[in-house]
């Protein structure tokens, strides 16, 4: 396990939870975000930094063994903000990782890179991408950056195509896409601990009975999800008893994202 682990996006939804859960698995946890992450807890180093600031990223990566990257724009927003955080910022992060000899990154991608596959099909990470917006395209760029930095420099990446991270699934669609906080912790730890990952793409999803995603190509990670959204099926099916199959948000895996206009 890493001696010094860097967690970006530590002020965000997933980052706040991982901050607590990862602390026990490293000697020092460096937590960073553009937003305030509050005071350092025992074993922590807190750094306020913007991804698009190359110098700040260089300082942030110094002395780090591994990175869990949750920072960035998490949905369709202005192209300028996506460009800064997810394109320029990720490049800064990888370049700094290369300069400082970081061996592995675990990077948040998204289900939206395959958002235009239908909800009635099961896909795996080898299918051609079908992104549902510029946010999703920026996540594909991130996956390709991970591929490139492994092929060229031997820096390993696990790209997590995260589904819907919630305390519990909120809609019928999320019966397929949900990932629990406990399974997210299992997935991140598996991604950090697996002996060899090269560049691996894995869907970040719980063991949902109605999952759209086949993770067998990422079996070597040893990720074994324990939670299943189907425990909530009766309640959510009652809330949405009929599905409008003329609505693209119901037809495609990306849900409402497939209706976004570029901003
Ligand atoms: N939450 C989900 O269900 C979900 C689903 C798919 C993918 N993801 C991905 O997982 C990651 C974390 O998601 P989240 O829900 O915690 O998002 P979030 O918005 O809650 O957290 C992201 C954090 O990144 C920080 N950030 C944004 N721009 C930055 C910049 N330019 N420089 C430095 N920090 C910046 C924000 O301040 C925020 O704290 C994101 O990359 C998101 O795309 C999340």
Q: Is 158 in the pocket of ligand 1 (CB under 6 A)?
A: no
**CATH number where 254 lies:** 3.40.50.720
Query: Domain range for residue 78?
Result: 4-259
Taking residues 38-47, what's their average pLDDT? 96
pLDDT of residue 9: 98
Question: If you measure from the C-alpha of residue 215 to the centroid of ligand 1, how many angstroms do you get, rounded to a whole number?
Answer: 23
Q: Whose CA is nearest to atom 40 of ligand 1?
A: 74
Res 52 pLDDT > 80: yes
What percentage of the chain has pLDDT greater than the value 70?
100
- Cα–Cα distance, 115 to 254 (Å, whole number): 4
User: In this predicted model, what pLDDT tens digit does every residue of 156-215 receive, in sequence order?
Assistant: 999 999 999 999 999 999 999 999 999 999 999 999 999 999 999 999 999 999 999 999
Compute the CA torsion angle 72, 74, 75, 81 (nearest 10 deg): -10
Question: If you measure from the C-alpha of residue 86 to the centroid of ligand 1, how many angstroms do you get, rounded to a whole number?
Answer: 10
Total count of domains within the chain: 1
Res 1 pLDDT > 70: no
**pTM (predicted TM-score):** 0.98
- Supply 254's token pair: 């990306």
- Supply 234's token pair: 């009766």
Res 145 pLDDT > 70: yes
- Cα–Cα distance, 145 to 51 (Å, whole number): 15
User: In this predicted model, what pLDDT tens digit does every residue of 220-260 receive, in sequence order?
Assistant: 999 999 999 999 999 999 999 999 999 999 999 999 999 99
Judge whether 135 counts as a catalytic residue. Answer: yes
Q: Is 132 in the pocket of ligand 1 (CB under 6 A)?
A: no
Res 263 pLDDT > 90: no
Taking residues 104-125, what's their average pLDDT? 98
Gyration radius (Cα) of the chain, Å: 18
Q: Which of 117, 134, 135, 141 is catalytic?
A: 135
Phi, psi (deg, nearest 5) at residue 47 = -135, 125
Q: Is 34 in the pocket of ligand 1 (CB under 6 A)?
A: yes
Q: Is 169 in the pocket of ligand 1 (CB under 6 A)?
A: no
Taking residues 17-41, what's their average pLDDT? 97
Q: How confident is the model at residue 262 (pLDDT cuts 50, 70, 90)?
A: confident
């Amino acid at each position: 396990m890493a001696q010094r682990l860097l967690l970006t996006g530590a002020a965000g939804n997933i980052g706040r939870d991982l901050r607590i859960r990862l602390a026990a698995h490293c000697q020092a946890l460096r937590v960073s975000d553009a937003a305030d992450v509050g005071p350092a807890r025992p074993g922590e180093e807190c750094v306020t930094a913007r991804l698009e600031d190359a110098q700040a990223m260089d300082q942030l990566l110094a002395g780090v063994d591994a990175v869990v990257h949750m920072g960035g724009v998490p949905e369709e927003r202005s192209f300028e903000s996506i460009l800064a955080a997810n394109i320029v910022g990720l490049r800064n992060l990888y370049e700094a990782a290369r300069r400082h000899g970081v061996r592995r990154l675990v990077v948040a991608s998204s289900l939206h890179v395959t958002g235009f596959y239908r909800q009635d099909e099961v896909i795996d990470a080898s299918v051609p991408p079908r992104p549902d917006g510029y946010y999703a395209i920026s996540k594909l760029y991130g996956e390709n950056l991970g591929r490139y930095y492994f092929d060229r420099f031997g820096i390993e990446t696990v790209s997590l195509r995260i589904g819907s991270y919630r305390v519990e699934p909120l809609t019928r669609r999320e019966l397929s896409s949900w990932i629990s906080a406990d399974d997210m912790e299992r997935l991140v730890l598996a991604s950090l601990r697996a002996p060899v990952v090269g560049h691996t793409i894995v869907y970040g999803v719980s063991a949902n009975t109605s999952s759209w995603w086949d993770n067998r190509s990422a079996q070597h990670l040893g990720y074994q999800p324990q939670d299943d959204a189907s425990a909530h099926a009766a309640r959510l099916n009652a809330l949405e008893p009929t599905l409008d199959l003329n609505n693209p948000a119901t037809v495609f895996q990306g849900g409402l994202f497939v209706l976004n206009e570029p901003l």
